[in-house]
Amino acid sequence: MSTRDWLLEDSPHSRLQANAGRAYRVFTALLRNPLSVLGGLIILILVLTALLAPWLAPYSSTGQDLANRLAPPSGAHWMGTDELGRDIFSRVIWGSQITLTIVGLVALISAPLGLLLGAVAGYFGGWTDRVLMGITDIFLSMPKLILALAFVAALGPGINNAIIAIAITSWPAYARIARAETLTIRNSEFIAAVQMQGASPLRVIVGHVLPLCTSSMIIRVTLDMAGVILTAAGLGFIGLGAQPPLPEWGAMISRGRTFILDQWWVATMPGFAIIIVSLGFCFLGDGLRDVLDPKSEGK
Amino acid sequence: MAPMLSVKNLRVSFPTHRGRVEVVKGISFDLGRERLGIVGESGSGKSMTGRAILKLIRKPGLVTADRMDFDGIDLLQQTEKQMRAIRGARISMVMQDPKFSLNPVMTIGEQIAEAVVTHEKLGRGEVQDRMLSMLEAVRINDPKRVAGLYPHEVSGGMGQRIMIAMMLIPGPELLIADEPTSALDVSVQAQVLDIIDNLVTAKGMGLILISHDLNLVSRYCDRILVMNAGTVVEECAAGQLEQAQHPYTRGLLAAMPVINETRDELPVLDRSQWAGT
Amino acid sequence: MSQNPTTAATLEVAGAASRRTRRRLLAVLGFVATVLLTFLGLLAITFFIGRVIPIDPVLAIVGDRASNEVYQAARVAMGLDQPLPVQFFHYVVNVFSGDLGQSVSTGRSVVEDLSRFFPATLEMATIGIIIGVVLGVPLGVIAASRQGSIIDQIIRVVGLLGYSMPAFWLGLVGLALFYARLRWVGGPGRLDIFYDGLVQPVTGLLLVDSLLAGEIEIFWNAVTHLVLPASVLGFFSLAYIARMTRSFMLDQLSQEFVTTARVKGVPERLVIWRHAFNPIRVPLITVIGLSYAGLLEGSVMIETVFSWPGIGNYLTTALLNADMNAVLGSTLVIGAVFIFINKISDVLYRVLDPRAR
Ligand SMILES: Nc1ncnc2c1ncn2[C@@H]1O[C@H](COP(=O)(O)OP(=O)(O)OP(=O)(O)O)[C@@H](O)[C@H]1O
Ligand SMILES: [Mg+2]
DSSP state letter for B102: S
What interface predicted TM-score (ipTM) does this complex get? Answer: 0.88
Q: Is the dihedral of CA C147, C150, C154, C160 positive or negative?
A: positive
pLDDT of B106 reads 92
Note the pLDDT tens digit of each residue in C52-99: 776 666 776 666 677 788 778 877 777 777 888 888 888 899 888 888
- Interface contacts (A, C; CB < 8 Å): 154
Using a CB-CB distance cutoff of 8 angstroms, which residues of chain C are in contact with residue B15? none
Count CA within 13 A, CB hemisphere, residue B70: 21
Phi-psi region of A145 (alpha: psi -120 to 50; beta: other; left: phi over 0): alpha
- Given an 8 Å threshold on Cβ–Cβ distance, is B95 in contact with C260? yes
Q: Say whether residue C316 is in contact with chain A using an 8 A CB cutoff.
A: yes
Torsions phi, psi for C81 (to 5 deg):
-80, -5
Average confidence score pLDDT of chain C: 85
pLDDT of C260 reads 94
Which whole number is the average pLDDT over C132-151?
Answer: 92
Does B212 contact ligand 1 (Cβ within 6 A)?
A: yes
- Given an 8 Å threshold on Cβ–Cβ distance, is B101 in contact with C259? yes
**Which of C264, C278, C354 is closest, CB to CB, to B87?**
C264
pLDDT of B259 reads 61
More confident residue, C64 or C240: C240
More confident residue, A159 or A298: A159
Helix locations, B102-232, DSSP H: 108-117, 124-137, 143-147, 156-168, 186-203, 214-220
Which whole number is the average pLDDT over A42-65?
Answer: 87
Note the pLDDT tens digit of each residue in C340-349: 888 887 777 7
Does B46 contact ligand 1 (Cβ within 6 A)?
A: yes
Pairwise CA distance, residues B19 & C147, whole Å = 21
pLDDT above 90 as % of chain C: 36
Strands B67-70 and B73-74 come out as antiparallel
Residue of B nearest to C277 (CA): B105
Give, to the nearest 10 degrees, the angle between helix C216-253 and helix C150-164.
Answer: 110
Pairwise CA distance, residues B64 & B72, whole Å = 18
Helix locations, chain B, DSSP H: 46-53, 80-86, 98-101, 108-117, 124-137, 143-147, 156-168, 186-203, 214-220, 247-254
Does B47 contact ligand 1 (Cβ within 6 A)?
A: yes
Q: Which residues contact B197 (CB under 8 A, 6 or more apart)?
A: B35, B220
Smallest Cα–Cα separation from A275: which of C170, C152, C236?
Answer: C170
Residue A279 in this model has a pLDDT that exceeds 60: yes
Torsions phi, psi for B206 (to 5 deg):
-90, 150
Beta carbons of C326 and C110 less than 8 angstroms apart: yes
Pairwise CA distance, residues C57 & B91, whole Å = 78
Beta carbons of B220 and B197 less than 8 angstroms apart: yes
Instruction: Report chain B's C-alpha Rg in angstroms.
Output: 19
What's the Cα-to-Cα distance from C139 to each of A296, C45, C154, rounded to whole Å?
Answer: 22, 39, 10
What's the Cα-to-Cα distance from C42 to each of A231, A236, C92, rounded to whole Å?
Answer: 20, 25, 11
Pairwise CA distance, residues A171 & A111, whole Å = 6
Listed by number, the residues of chain B in 34-93 with a beta carbon closer than 8 Å to a beta carbon of chain C are: 51, 54, 56, 80, 84-89, 92-93
Pairwise CA distance, residues A171 & C160, whole Å = 23
Atom of ligand 1 lying closest to residue B46 CA: 21
pLDDT of B185 reads 82
Listed by number, the residues of chain A in 137-156 with a beta carbon closer than 8 Å to a beta carbon of chain C are: 137-139, 141-147, 149-155
Instruction: Report chain A's C-alpha Rg in angstroms.
Output: 23
Note the pLDDT tens digit of each residue in C296-322: 888 888 999 999 999 999 998 888 887
pLDDT of C274 reads 93
Looking at this protein, which amino acid is placed at residue B85? A
pLDDT of B93 reads 94
Note the pLDDT tens digit of each residue in A189-246: 777 788 778 778 888 888 888 888 888 888 889 989 999 999 999 999 998 888 888 8
Residue closest by Cα to atom 4 of ligand 1:
B14
pLDDT of C202 reads 81
Count CA within 13 A, CB hemisphere, residue C289: 20
Our measurement of the distance from residue C83's CA atom to the centroid of its chain's CA atoms, rounded to an integer in Å, reads: 36
Tell me how close the Cα of C92 comes to any Cα of chain A, in angstroms. Answer: 17
Pairwise CA distance, residues B164 & C71, whole Å = 83
pLDDT of B276 reads 47
Instruction: Report chain C's C-alpha Rg in angstroms.
Output: 26
- List the pLDDT tens digit at each of the 277 positions of chain B: 578 999 999 999 998 777 789 999 999 999 988 999 999 888 889 999 999 999 999 888 999 999 999 998 999 999 999 999 999 999 999 998 888 999 998 999 999 999 999 998 888 899 999 999 999 988 888 999 999 999 999 988 899 999 999 999 998 999 999 988 888 888 888 888 898 999 889 988 999 999 988 888 888 999 999 998 889 988 888 777 777 677 777 777 776 666 666 666 666 666 665 554 4
Tell me the whole-structure pTM to 2 decimals. Answer: 0.85
Does B8 contact ligand 1 (Cβ within 6 A)?
A: no
Residue A110 in this model has a pLDDT that exceeds 70: yes
- 3-class secondary structure, A59: coil
Pairwise CA distance, residues C231 & C124, whole Å = 9
Residue A296 in this model has a pLDDT that exceeds 70: no
Q: Which long-range contacts (CB under 8 A, 24 or more apart) does C205-210 make?
A: C205/C119, C205/C122, C205/C123, C206/C120, C206/C123, C207/C123
Helix locations, chain C, DSSP H: 4-47, 57-62, 68-77, 84-96, 110-145, 150-164, 167-174, 206-212, 216-253, 256-263, 268-270, 281-305, 311-320, 324-352
pLDDT of B269 reads 66
Comparing C6-20, C210-224, C271-285, the range with the smallest average pLDDT is C6-20
pLDDT of B233 reads 86
Using a CB-CB distance cutoff of 8 angstroms, which residues of chain B are in contact with residue C265? 84-89, 115, 118-119, 170
Note the pLDDT tens digit of each residue in C254-289: 999 999 999 999 999 999 999 999 889 888 988 998
Tell me how close the Cα of A294 comes to any Cα of chain C, in angstroms. Answer: 14
pLDDT of C129 reads 95
Q: Is C238 exposed, middle or buried (0-12, 13-18, 19+ CB in 10 A)?
A: buried
Residue of C nearest to A269 (CA): C169
Using a CB-CB distance cutoff of 8 angstroms, which residues of chain C are in contact with residue A229? 164
Atom of ligand 1 lying closest to residue B49 CA: 18
pLDDT of C267 reads 93
- 3-class secondary structure, C148: coil
- Given an 8 Å threshold on Cβ–Cβ distance, is C160 in contact with A282? yes
Using a CB-CB distance cutoff of 8 angstroms, which residues of chain C are in contact with residue A296? none
Comparing A106-110, A259-263, B190-194, the range with the smallest average pLDDT is A259-263
Which whole number is the average pLDDT over C170-175?
Answer: 92
Note the pLDDT tens digit of each residue in C33-57: 888 888 888 898 888 888 777 666 6
Pairwise CA distance, residues C82 & C89, whole Å = 11
